[in-house]
Amino acid sequence: MTSELALEFARKIRAREQAVGYWAVLDAPVATERIGRLGYDYVALDAQHGLLGYSGVLNGLMAIDAGHTAAGMVRVEDNNLTAIGKALDAGAVGVIVPLVNTAADAAAAVAAAKYPPMGGRSYGPMRSALRIGPKPADSNAATLVFAMIETPDGLANVKEICATPGLDGIYVGPSDLAIAVGGAFPGDPAIETEFNVALETIAEAAASAGIAAGIHTAAGEVAALRLRQGYTFTTVASDLTHLEQIAKAHLDAARSDAGTKES
């Protein structure tokens, strides 16, 4: 992604304009490149629960950038300097930081993503220097930081987290959030009311702070619903789940009555 596109994406997110992204968990750069050319605003690589290591993140970001369309983001595996710095050095436009429970956690994530004097990121930009340029101030201006709200503490402290200086947005992990509000499993219908109240609380906290509110969704229809409910950016499904769904749909079609009927 060129510096102009990266800066425009950062501007769009910070202006709370709507954006739709895609989630990738597979170490499959060719597939990621094809997805990145479809028109999504961003593609997020999952380095926390995804099936890709650092080389997969690096190759995935290069594949996304090859399309000159989508921004490459990374959900890092942990809230620390090394994990965040490596993702950004590899060329990520933004990082989604998991398990943020307090404003102090959010401040640590911002500090890890920003060069001094804004933060403590170590200088060694590697790929990101090609995309943004070698000046720390330019990188700081273009780098996005999102704190995940997915725990009981994160939900309780969401207003304080949203007020963290330098934080560009929050991002809901719906599976963990469902468990956080008492669900026995993600999607548990027994806590539907509590879950929806939590989603509303989170969106309102972000809006009050003037920062972006993002959320992961299982399908495009759910993504559209969340955007209508006040979320400003939303990510759709994942490459692995879509691969499985499409493969099964074709199998079911091939084994349908019409397909197996003897001639």
pLDDT at 198 over 50: yes
* Amino acid 6: pLDDT: 86
Residue 145 bridge partners (DSSP): 95
Distance (Å, rounded) from C-alpha 162 to C-alpha 233? Answer: 16
Contact, 96 vs 74, CB < 8 A?
Answer: yes
Convert the pLDDT of each residue in 63-76 to its tens digit.
999 999 999 999 99
Helix (H, G, I), strand (E, B) or coil at 73: strand
pLDDT at 263 over 60: no
Q: Where does the pLDDT of residue 257 fall: very low under 50, low under 70, confident under 90, or very high at 90 and above?
A: confident
75 membership: H or E segment, kind and range: strand 71-75
* Amino acid 259: pLDDT: 58
Count of beta carbons in the 10 Å neighbourhood of residue 252: 10
Task: Write the CB contacts of 106 (distance below 8 Å, at least 6 apart in sequence).
Answer: 97, 100, 147, 161, 164, 167
Mean pLDDT across the stretch 32-45?
97
Mean pLDDT across the stretch 169-188?
97
DSSP state, residue 133 = -
For the chain, helix, strand, coil in percent to 5 are: 50, 15, 35
Closest by CA position to 38, among listed 237, 251, 249: 237
Show which residues are catalytic. 49
What single-letter amino acid sits at 99? L
Contact, 171 vs 96, CB < 8 A?
Answer: yes
pLDDT at 260 over 60: no
Count of beta carbons in the 10 Å neighbourhood of residue 225: 13
Q: Which of 85-99, 156-170, 191-205, 247-261 has the weakest average pLDDT?
A: 247-261
In Å, how far are 57, 119, 222, 228, 257 from 184, measured between CA atoms? 32, 39, 21, 27, 38
Average pLDDT of the chain, as a whole number: 94
Q: Which two tokens stand for residue 192?
A: 């539907």
* Amino acid 130: pLDDT: 67
* Amino acid 4: pLDDT: 83
In Å, how far are 3, 159, 185, 198, 234 from 195, measured between CA atoms? 38, 17, 12, 5, 17
Convert the pLDDT of each residue in 122-170 to its tens digit.
998 888 876 666 789 989 999 999 999 999 999 999 999 999 999 999 9
* Amino acid 138: pLDDT: 87
* Amino acid 128: pLDDT: 82
